[in-house]
Amino acid sequence: MARVTTAGAAPAPALQAQNLSQTFGDTEVLHGVSLQVARGEVVAVMGPSGSGKSTLLHLLGGLGQPSGGEVYWEGVRVDQLSVDARAQRRVRALGLVFQHHYLLPDLNLLDNLRVPGMILGEDLTARAEQLLQQVGLGGRGGAYPEVLSGGERQRLAVARALVARPAALLADEPTGSLDRANARRVAELMIDLAREHASGVLLVTHDEALAALADRQIDLLDGRVVPPGSPATALPVP
């Protein structure tokens, strides 16, 4: 299994892409994108619709096979792994948060958080209970997702993404379904919890206010990384 090595004792990035490309038919959606996210670092990815943001996130998350280039989680190359091997490693290496929470409606809140542990064969009950407290849902572990507000459901989704202490958190428009006030609260909570547990965060968002919470920003245009603040990537003000 390939692993990135560097001189000295510097740890491998939590997440890394080298010369990543993706082609669908005759259309090249990503063109040689390279990036890395360190543990505890928050990186925002911005760009207009169709710039390749979601495609990039899916490839970094091992949810698709790139046409070219390499993807590494904690220094281990994963794009060449089988689908099953990649899925098993993903549970430990990555947490995923999407615009829609994708909670399991037939499981209570505590069991929703324990699902990654069930996959790993580990009892994460204590960790899950701690995270319920941290996201403001302490004492409600026996309730079901249907009784939660939209903001509460997304906070629970953040907790589930972090329960296995992943190296990196991938967030694709994680507050897109929330009003501005709730969006800010959920984003700040997600970033604070990730930093507390030294997880890197790659945040795809259209919201410049959320991107401003990141340590640095990557701008995409037509599948390419462009200089930060390039006028071509400017988004219309709502």
59 within some domain: yes
What confidence score (pLDDT) does residue 9 get? 55
229, pLDDT greater than 70? no
**Hey, is 35 helix, strand or coil?**
strand
Q: Which of 124-128, 141-145, 194-198 has the lowest mean pLDDT?
A: 194-198
Question: Which amino acid belongs to residue 124?
Answer: L
Residue 237 has a pLDDT of 42
Q: Which DSSP symbol is given to 33?
A: E
Give the pLDDT of residue 121: 92
Going by pLDDT thresholds of 50, 70 and 90, the confidence category of residue 143 is very high
Residues 170-188 have a mean pLDDT of 88
> Is 8 among the domain residues?
no
Give the alpha-carbon dihedral of 113, 119, 122, 127, to 10 degrees. -20
pLDDT bin (cut points 50, 70, 90) of residue 197 is: confident
133: nearest Cα among 95, 86, 175, 189: 189
> Residue 218 falls within a domain, yes or no?
yes
For residue 131, being part of any structural domain is answered with: yes
Distance of alpha carbon 62 from alpha carbon 221, whole angstroms: 22
| Average pLDDT of the segment spanning 222-235 | 72
Structural domain total, the chain: 1
DSSP string of 166-227, one letter each residue: -SEEEEESTTTTS-HHHHHHHHHHHHHHHHHTT-EEEEE-S-HHHHTTSSEEEEEETTEEE-
Within a domain: 77: yes
Q: Note whether residue 9 is domain-resident.
A: no
What share of residues in the chain are helix, strand, coil (percent, to 5)? 35, 25, 40
Q: Which CATH number do you get for residue 196?
A: 3.40.50.300
The answer to whether position 233 is within a domain reads no
Whether the per-residue pLDDT at 146 is higher than 80: the answer is: yes
Domain that holds residue 58: 15-227
**Residue 3 included in any domain:** no
**Taking 50 as the threshold, does the pLDDT of residue 6 lie above it?**
no
Q: Give the pLDDT band of residue 101 (cuts 50, 70, 90).
A: confident
Mean of the per-residue pLDDT values of the chain: 90
